[in-house]
């Protein structure tokens, strides 16, 4: 099947088998390997990307289902080399160790902060429960998202 998917603003046209997973389209055809695979069964969240602005686990979506959609991956988050506040938050608050869960965590946090710009600790934990991390014990991830939410609020005030 011929499909066309826009990833981080770049259009990718390809003839794919209907069974091709979106995560493989992103990693193998578009060559964007920041989206990781930790389970291929929609459990770990390592493969989380934004599909038309909403976080999805792209190991559980077929590429053909994403035909015509806009995908944002971790590589597309920084703005002209300037880190996104969520990326800054993870860096500043030691929100990662091995970094394997990190792209998915950041994309899920992005979705969470869009819906709830000022989440409490409990809301962050609940909002990220679809993402597993084996290294950090989560506390610093929560701190990172809190940090990001404050930075984003400060920015919004400035911009407003």
Partner 1 sequence: MSFLAKYIGQKVRRTEDPRLIQGIGHYVDDIKLADTLHVVILRSTHAHAKINSIDLEAAKSSPGVVAVYTGKDVEGRVGFVPCAAALPDLKVPKYPVLAQGKVIFVGQPVAAIVATDKYKARDAADLIDIDYDPLDVVTDPEAAVQADSSVIHEEFGTNIAFHHSAGTGDIEAAFKQADRIVSEKLYHQRLAPVALEPRGVLAHYLPGEQQMTLWSSTQIPHLMRTQVALMLGINENRLRVIAPEVGGGFGSKLNVYAEEALLGWISMQLKKPVKWIESRRENMTSTIHGRSQSGTVEMAVKNDGTLLGLKYQVIADMGAYLQLLTPAIPTLTGLMLSGCYKIPAISMQCTGVFTNRMSTDAYRGAGRPEATYLVERIMDCVALELKMDPVELRRKNFPKPEEFPFATATGLFYDSGDYEKSLARALEMSDYQKLRAEQSEARKQGRYLGIGVSTYVEICAMGPSIALPAGGWESATVRVEPTGKVTVMTGISPHGQGEETSFAQIVGDMLGVDMDDVLVIHGDTSIVQYGIGTFGSRGLAVGGAALACALDKVVAKARKLAAHILQTDESSLTFENGRFVGAPNDSSITIQEIAQAAHTAHNIPPDFEPGLVATHFFEPKNFTFPFGSHLRGRGRQGDRRGQGASIYRR
Point out which residues bind partner 1 (CB under 8 A): 17, 19-20, 27, 31-41, 43-44, 46, 73-75, 77-78, 83, 87, 90-92, 94, 96-103, 106, 132-135
Pick from 119, 100, 37, 111: nearest CA to 72: 111
Q: Within 13 Å, how many C-alpha atoms sit on residue 11's CB side? A: 5
- Taking the C-alpha atoms of residue 55 and residue 53, their distance in angstroms, rounded to an integer, is 7
Piece of 33-41, 70-78, 109-117, 144-152 that binds ligand FES (CB under 6 A): 33-41
Determine if 49 is a binding residue for ligand FES (CB under 6 A): no
Cβ atoms 22, 46 nearer than 8 A: no
Alpha helices (runs of H) in the chain, residue ranges in sequence order? 22-24, 85-92, 102-115, 121-127, 139-159
Stretch that binds ligand FES, among 40-48, 73-81, 115-123, 145-153 (CB under 6 A): 40-48
Could you tell me the two tokens for 46?
């390592």
47 binds ligand FES (CB under 6 A): yes
Which CB, 13 or 79, lies closer to partner 1? 79
Nearest CB to partner 1, comparing residues 134 and 157: 134
What residues form DSSP beta bridges with 70?
Answer: 6
In the region spanning residues 110 to 149, those forming contacts with ligand FES, defined by CB under 6 A, are 133-136
Residues that bind ligand FES (CB under 6 A): 37-40, 42-47, 57, 59, 96-102, 133-136
């Amino acid at each position: 099947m011929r499909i066309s998917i826009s990833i981080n603003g770049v259009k990718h046209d390809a003839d794919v088998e209907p069974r091709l997973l979106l995560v493989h389209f992103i990693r193998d055809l578009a060559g964007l390997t920041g989206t990781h695979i930790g389970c291929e069964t929609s459990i770990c969240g390592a493969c989380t990307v934004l599909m038309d602005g909403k976080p999805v686990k792209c190991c559980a979506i077929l590429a053909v289902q994403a035909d015509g959609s806009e995908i944002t991956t971790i590589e597309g988050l920084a703005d002209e080399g300037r880190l996104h506040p969520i990326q800054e938050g993870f860096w500043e608050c030691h929100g990662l160790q091995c970094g394997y869960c990190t792209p998915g965590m950041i994309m899920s946090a992005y979705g969470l902060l869009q819906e709830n710009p000022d989440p409490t600790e409990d809301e962050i934990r609940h909002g990220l429960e679809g993402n597993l991390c084996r290294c950090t014990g989560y506390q610093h991830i929560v701190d990172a998202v809190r940090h990001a939410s404050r930075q984003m609020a400060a920015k919004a005030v400035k911009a407003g």
